[in-house]
Amino acid sequence: MNEKFKGIFPALLTPFDGQNRVDTEVLGRLVDYNLQKGVDGFYVAGSTAEVFLLDAKERLAVMETVSSRAGGKCTLIAHIGCISTKQAIEYAREAKEMGYDAISSVAPFYYKFSFEEIRRYYFDIVDAVDLPMLIYNFPAFSGVNLTTDNIREFLADDRFLGVKHTSSDFYALEQFKAGFPDKVVYNGYDEMFLAGLSMGADDYVTKPYNPQELAARVRSQLRRYTLLGDIHTAQREGLLVNGRLTYDTAERVLRADGDVVKLTATETKIVDLLMRNRGRIFPAEEIYQRVWEEEAFAPENTVMVHIRRIREKIELNPKEPEYLKVVWGIGYKMEKIENHV
Instruction: Find the catalytic residue in 164, 177, 183, 269.
Output: 164
Q: What is the 8-class DSSP label of residue 3? A: G
Residue 164 bears catalytic tag: yes
What string of DSSP letters covers 17-77?
Answer: -TTS-B-HHHHHHHHHHHHHTT--EEEESSTTTTGGGS-HHHHHHHHHHHHHHHBTTBEEE
Long-range own/partner contacts, residues 169-172 (CB < 8 A, 24 or more apart): 170/195, 170/196, 170/199, 170/340, 171/199, 172/147, 172/148
Residue 136 bears catalytic tag: yes
Which run of H or E residues covers position 242? strand 239-242
Using CA atoms, how far residue 291 sits from 104, 247, 314, 327, in Å, is 50, 17, 19, 19
Long-range own/partner contacts, residues 32-38 (CB < 8 A, 24 or more apart): 32/69, 34/10, 34/208, 34/209, 35/70, 35/73, 35/74, 37/209, 37/210, 37/211, 38/211
Instruction: Find the catalytic residue in 136, 189, 204, 247.
Output: 136
Q: ∠314-316-318 over CA atoms, to 5°?
A: 75
Catalytic residues: 136, 164
